[in-house]
Structure 1
Amino acid sequence: MKGKSFFHTIQVKLVIIYLLLILVAMQLIGVYFISTVKNSLNDSFTNNLKEQADILSKFAAPSLAAKPDTEGDSAESTTEDLSLVVRNLFSISGAEVQVLDSNGKVVATSLQGHQSYIGKKNKSLAVSRALQNISDNEEEIIDEDNTRKKMIAQPVTLNDKVVGAVYVVASMNELYDTVNRVNQIFFSGTLIALGLTGVLGILLAHTITNPIQGLTKQAEAVAEGKFEMQVPVLGDDEIGRLSMAFNDMTIRLKDALSVNEEENEKLMSILSNMSDGVVAADEHGQVIVWNRRALELLDVRTCEGCQLTELLDLSEQKLQELQEGRGQTLLIERGPREPEADGGEEGILRVTFTPIHRRDKGTTGTIAVLQDVTEQEKLEQSRREFVANVSHELRTPLTTIKSYAEALNDGALEERELSERFVGVIRNETERMIRLVTDLLHLSRLDSNQAPLRRRQTNVHEMLDEVADRFSFQLRQKSIKAAVRVDRGLKAAWLDRDQIDQVLDNLFSNAIKYTLDGGTIELTAKKPADSDMLAISVKDTGIGIPKKDLIRIFDRFYRVDKARSRNMGGTGLGLSIAREIVKAHGGTISLHSELNEGTTVTFTLPLLREGGEPA
């Protein structure tokens, strides 16, 4: 392992780079230099042979042009002269030279051992080309002794007439021996250069790696929290500037950690003195941070090692939903941990959950803020009870007023026309107040869970058709077209028919009120894909609702146009009642509207089987 890390050091890498650079450079130079030397020697050797062949061809031209049959003695003398010149001229180079006549027969040869060739015909292709007055005839051949030789054949001409040829074959061993010696010299020089480069590379790499080792030691010290050491600055080069930057970074990191510790102390002080309890948990639900107020509200001694589900008495599924952002607040009832403990008080805590997100890692934890809302809930409960009691007490006198108004309308007063108008006003106001009280009572029952659901199997299509039938008279009065659409396969649902009818009546009545004459209203029921919910929508082409009012449209007594709503007999509680009924069924309700284009109200109900199990 140590040897492996040694070869991974920068010093070794630098030395290897130096050696590879020198090796590549020397190889490129060597290939070029040796190739050039070889070509130069080869060209010089060839030119030398050609020059001597030219000299011999000029000397032998008159002799080869003579007629040997007319002057026999002269021809024999000429042949001997040629042989003597050939032997003397090429004896030093060790080449074989043959002088051929115009028929390709050997007239003279430079080698004593080849005197038997005289008078015989040389059938070489180069000789044939030379006798055809082709001057460029040269090639390298390898003989039977595996010796590389150069062969040249040149024509012998006299008065532009070919009278013979000169054939030269010379060994190239000396040339290649010279090239091999140059190779050996270059190889030796390369080894020496690599050795010197290795030594210099070690020295140069040492000057670079020493400061880096110092920086590494300083970085390890900083990682351990030691900020007092400084890296020595040995120059103004890149490494020197890196050392200065590292020292500056160390100082800044020390200051940043000091500021961070100070901020942490401030944060802990704030957490300790907050009026709300704070509990933070990691992604596994393990509590990691808490304050003193949280211990007081939860009536525990410590949160160390606790799970958030155990601390707040939540299920794993509920905690997961809260961590994913589905429902950020939760009310939990607080009671004494031990029934026999003194000082334990019951109360209600509002817990607000906020997921902790980290970039590229998703949700890494949860922060829960605990607030004691016991007094608020008591006040809210008192308000609900007050509304219920007042509504109940007002209903009897209002009914009496309605009875007297009807009596007056029957002719009890002498001024009939005026009395009828007054009686009509009294009746309308009385009926509106009765509707208001009725709605308040209904809301009160829903708020206090005193309106239990009486679920029964209901045909969805039949229920929507009956809603349209109930309002058929109003629809005809305003020439409004109503359409009912139910998805195929959606037949029955397990729900409280009476309460859902009330929801549909409220929504359909609102759609008729705020849809102009000649408009359309659609009642739609469908089951969204991959869902166990029933979605029912009431869509109209009415006047719509401004965007600024959408956020408060389900608030109690909230009216978009107060004067018009009151004239139409609205109480401002219809949508609130619808929301509470849908919520009691375990569903949701939403409203989408565009001004002067129409409104769509959609509520969802869980599809249950008999017994309350999901469908």
Structure 2
Amino acid sequence: MKRKNLNLRNAFILIISTLVIVTVFNQLERKNYQSTIQQEYMDSVTVTLNKAEKFINDHPDMNFSDLQVAPDVSVILIQEGTTKELNQELASAGLSTLLQSVFIHSEDGQEFLDNRAPEPVYFSYQDDFNETYSFFSLKRRTKAGFILVSKNATAFEGYLHNKELLDFGLVMSLITIFFVLVLFLNKRVFTRISQMTELAYEFSENKFENSIELQSNDQIDNLGIALNKMGKTLEATSLINTQERKLLMHVYNSLDTGVLYVEEDFTITDLNTIGQRFFTSYIKNDEGRFGIDSYYESLIFEAWRTNEPIQVEIQHNQLIFDVRFIPVEIDEKLKTQGVLLITKDITTDKQLVSIREDLITNVSHDLRTPLATIQGYSEAIKDDIAETTDEKNEMARIIHDEATQMSQMITSLLTVSRTKAGFSELNKESVLISAFFHKVINRFTERLNSEKIECDLVVKPGTSHYEMDEEKMHHAIYNLIDNAIHYAADPDLRYKRYIHIEVGLDELVDDLVITVSDNGIGISKESIPFIFERFFKDNKARTMPKNNGSGIGLSLVYTVITEHGGKIEVESTQNKGTSFVIRLPL
């Protein structure tokens, strides 16, 4: 913004003010001086008149040679139309001639002689040679006739005129000096100060492109040097502050905790990224009094009223949030200026707590059941309860199966833990796809037959071999099929229960695609995002009476697929079925 330069205007106002003051003082001085001189002239005329009158009265012989008056005063005796100069020492004969030949016969002179004015009167006349005479005159009637006493004031008028010229010259000189001084100051001082002022305003707006150009080594340039240094310092400081502010904003927006600030008028400001999402999803309500949800409004108001922090756990859909309402005191009067909302998604934390509790229950149950079976059958064999060899063999087989199940569960736990810790390695080799899947499916032949579940395999043409860790991938596919059998639908609700496995190539993205689908009881929509977490179980959907597992299987599947650089996705509808899609890079 361009700012007004008032220096020249102020300078002209100063010049005019000075001129007016000098003129007024000059006029006052002139008037005072003129009044003083006039009074002296009038006194001189009055004294001379009195002296001449006394002399005439004392010398009836009319011998005026002894009359002594000032040489600049004319004393004229007017008798019966004749005039006579009585001052033999009169210095200005021209004045006496003017008085006798012009003034006395003029209209002003006749009026003056006829008037009885007791005070001297000022007159100014020109003679035949255009020479101006100024004088003070006073007349008085005596026995001898009129006495006209006049004092020459021409020199006085000349002095006043010369003084006026001198004063005018003085005023013009002052104006010239002031004008030159103002131009000088404007160029050397005012303009540079204005530049510095403008530069300081630019600094205040974080604009540091310009600087002061130095002209000389005077104090103003020293100020310019200091201002330039200050600009450089401010620029560096501003750059550092900007970088720090950007870093803080990056950290602020990278927090996994939502931050919102509610001002006194319930305006919500200073939201970070998580806070903005939380506000938009749960707090914002256009129908509310302040545009926010009434529940949050009441909590904010309560924190404001009590000036005490409030902490609550709020559940939205399947997510649980820890929300804190913290009053903010800014001034020294400890008056609440706003309320800070801190939100944190604690859904995972809550799930971990639940998972830890379930882990103890599930693992102890999954270990206790086969151990109890092993213990019971081993005691039966020991006590010779089994009478025949076939019965003993059957008991031994059951003990072996239960021990194998325990070993598989412990192996799965160790595999997941080692993979999560980064200690697992892949032993990849070229595996024949068709033979690999038949080998896995054959392990479930007895269960599939007993459960009356059909399992079919489709290997599309062009899919023969794949580089993978056969043992780990075997565990992964085994768990998917085991899950499909475990959570198959009730036979009374399905005309046919099936598991469909399809393997093929997606040539568009060069992936090996494995699909394992069933028409079982499905997975609840709320549980799908968490099914690959360790020890997680969809208790809402999977309410089968049989043991519903330890929650390790799908976590193991996800770990193995991720190790191979692949991805696994799930699509499921409750009471209709589930489909797992695995994509492995070629």
Same fold (TM over 0.5): no
TM (normalized to structure 2)?
0.40
TM (normalized to structure 1)?
0.38
Max radius of gyration: which structure? 2
